[in-house]
Amino acid sequence: MFKEFRSTIVAANFKVKNQKGNIRRTCELTFETDLTEDIARAIDKKAKGWRADLKSGAMSKINIPISAIACVVDMHPCGGEDQPHQIPMARGIEAIATSADDEEFDPRIKIKIGFRLRREDAAWIPMQLGNVIDVTMKKAQLSLVVSDMALN
């Protein structure tokens, strides 16, 4: 999964659904950053090649499916006194990489994640919209680890 990267929160879409009395609050959060080699390597084995194609101008845009990614997201505001924030379980939605106008610069990528909205998310995220933050995405464990002793 991704290591730490510096990013900007460019969009936050809050959704509330009422299905037969069951209220579900979700958020889709979009980060934008440079598509570095480290980020490309973390997304997909093929992404390094796509990054090279974007950088050379052979491609101008690519949608990268990241729905198989489940992660814990730590966000730390840069240069501010705001507190860090953690999203305990998020899933990847999509990543859209676009070429830079100049070959000297890295291509850009927008990474969209989704998660269940909590009160603390609804308070923290709008205050950081448009701000530069340090983001760390760590792979989440989705299954229990069963030892041999537990099976006996």
Q: What is the pLDDT of residues 66-93, one digit of tens each?
A: 888 889 999 998 876 678 899 999 999 9
Q: Considering the domain boundaries, does residue 111 fall inside one?
A: yes
The set of residues, in sequence order, having a beta carbon less than 8 Å from that of 37 and lying 6+ positions away, is 48, 51
Q: Considering the domain boundaries, does residue 116 fall inside one?
A: yes
Q: Considering the domain boundaries, does residue 150 fall inside one?
A: no
Q: Considering the domain boundaries, does residue 148 fall inside one?
A: no
- What integer pLDDT is reported at residue 64 of this predicted model? 86
Q: Considering the domain boundaries, does residue 147 fall inside one?
A: no
pTM for this prediction: 0.84
Q: Considering the domain boundaries, does residue 47 fall inside one?
A: yes
How buried is residue 73: exposed, middle or buried, by Cβ count under 10 Å (0-12/13-18/19+)? buried
Q: Considering the domain boundaries, does residue 20 fall inside one?
A: yes
Residue 63 belongs to what domain range?
4-142
Total tally of structural domains belonging to the chain = 1
At 18, which helix (H) or strand (E)?
strand 4-19
With contact defined as beta carbons under 8 Å apart, do 129 and 12 qualify? Answer: yes
- What integer pLDDT is reported at residue 42 of this predicted model? 82
What are 11-69's pLDDT values in tens digits? 999 999 998 889 999 999 999 999 988 888 887 778 888 888 888 888 899 998 888 88
Q: Considering the domain boundaries, does residue 151 fall inside one?
A: no
